[in-house]
């Protein structure tokens, strides 16, 4: 089955103008195909979100924080995209322009105001979820998704030389207290006290995204990982002292592993 964005692109082709794309009205046949694709997308994106987070944790444990920053951003990005997909919202591009469309008969694509899939997904998530906990506060006077984007862009593009062995202030707390202890604290805290604190947000924010979007997908019945994927997830949450049990419990709680 094609992905939702691939299905939408197939309706037009690379040379279609913005006007042509926006003029398309989804039929019942379109909606059936697109909604089915988006449900698969939601599970796939959410799995990718967990993989990104666990890969980042492995890097931090070994002192490699630059790429961990990028992967933690991707964790949030994939979680947002999974949330949109399970809500029947597709972000897609035709050439360079970005569009979003709701999978509903009679709906038409709408242009996004920002370039690039990443910023478009972040923008659409914010526009569609104004009361969401993940958007309820700022981090260092920035909207939280923008703060995550800036951290990623600084790591990817803002420096020619990686910071290691200096991991930067965003990781000072976790390196001082240990990632196992820190993750336990983040998962046990029911408020958002850590989520928007710049001393914690680099890990606490994407981890909260995994929890909340996992709840959303679990309620919709679209979570899924095959046996090999589940085994990989469960064996990837290890540090020098063994399995990080709190993360396994969280994966079981949201239903991505059993």
Q: Is 207 exposed, middle or buried (0-12, 13-18, 19+ CB in 10 A)?
A: buried
Give pLDDT, residue 159.
81
pLDDT given at position 14: 84
Number of domains in the chain: 1
Pairwise CA distance, residues 51 & 236, whole Å: 9
User: Residue 125's domain spans which residues?
Assistant: 4-254
- pLDDT beneath 50, residues of the chain: none
Give the residue from 141, 119, 106, 109 showing the smallest Cα distance to 28. Answer: 106
Tell me the pLDDT tens digit for each residue of 171-186: 999 999 999 999 999 9
The reported pLDDT for the residue numbered 1 is: 59
Task: Find out whether 34 and 4 touch, Cβ atoms under 8 Å.
Answer: yes
* Both structure tokens of 227: 């046996």
> According to the model, what pLDDT value does residue 72 have?
98
Strands 142-143 and 138-139: antiparallel
């Amino acid at each position: 089955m094609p992905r939702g964005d691939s299905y939408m692109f197939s309706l037009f082709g690379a040379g279609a103008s913005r006007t042509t794309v926006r003029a398309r009205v989804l039929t019942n046949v379109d909606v059936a195909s697109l909604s089915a694709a988006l449900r698969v997308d939601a599970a796939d994106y959410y799995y990718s979100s967990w993989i990104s987070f666990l890969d980042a944790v492995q890097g931090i444990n070994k002192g490699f924080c630059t790429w961990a920053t990028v992967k933690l951003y991707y964790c949030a990005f994939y979680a947002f995209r999974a949330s949109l997909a399970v809500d029947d919202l597709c972000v897609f591009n035709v050439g360079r322009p970005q569009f979003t469309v709701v999978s509903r008969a009679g709906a038409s694509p709408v242009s996004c105001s920002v370039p690039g899939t990443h910023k478009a997904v972040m923008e659409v998530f914010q526009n569609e979820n104004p009361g969401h906990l993940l958007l309820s506060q700022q981090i260092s006077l920035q909207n939280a998704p923008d703060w995550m984007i800036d951290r990623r862009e600084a790591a990817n593009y803002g420096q020619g030389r990686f910071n290691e062995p200096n991991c930067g202030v965003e990781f000072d707390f976790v390196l001082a207290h240990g990632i196992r202890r820190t993750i336990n604290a983040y998962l046990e805290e029911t408020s958002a006290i850590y989520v928007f604190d710049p001393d914690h947000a680099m890990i606490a924010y994407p981890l909260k995204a995994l929890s909340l979007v996992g709840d959303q997908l679990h309620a919709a019945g679209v979570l899924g990982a095959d046996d090999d994927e589940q085994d990989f997830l469960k064996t990837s949450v290890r540090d020098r002292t063994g399995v990080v049990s709190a993360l396994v419990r969280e994966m079981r709680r949201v239903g991505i592993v059993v």
